[in-house]
Amino acid sequence: MGKLKERESKAQLRWLIRRDMDRVMEIVKENVEQKIADGIMNAMAQEVANDCKSIMCNRELREDIRAIIRAKIREVESAVK
């Protein structure tokens, strides 16, 4: 009878360890996914920032953007009136 109880205890312990390991792996998976997503977002933000710097350093492009923004502001003003 003692060996049967011991086997049941070991089986239960293995089950608990497997369950806890599954939980740990799920948490690790979520953290890895979040870190990958953060890395992608940071890289994309850096690319946009570099593009904006390039545009703003070019006088002709900068003036074109200002003209477009002014036109859009006028459109909004006329739509509000």
Domain boundaries, the chain: 2-80
How many Cβ atoms from other residues are within 10 Å of residue 65's Cβ?
14
**Neighbouring residues of 55: CB distance < 8 A, sequence distance ≥ 6:** 61, 62, 65
Average pLDDT on 70-74 reads: 96
> What confidence tens digit (pLDDT) does each residue in 16-68 have?
888 888 898 999 999 999 999 999 999 999 999 999 899 889 999 999 999 99
Q: What is the pLDDT of residue 1?
A: 54
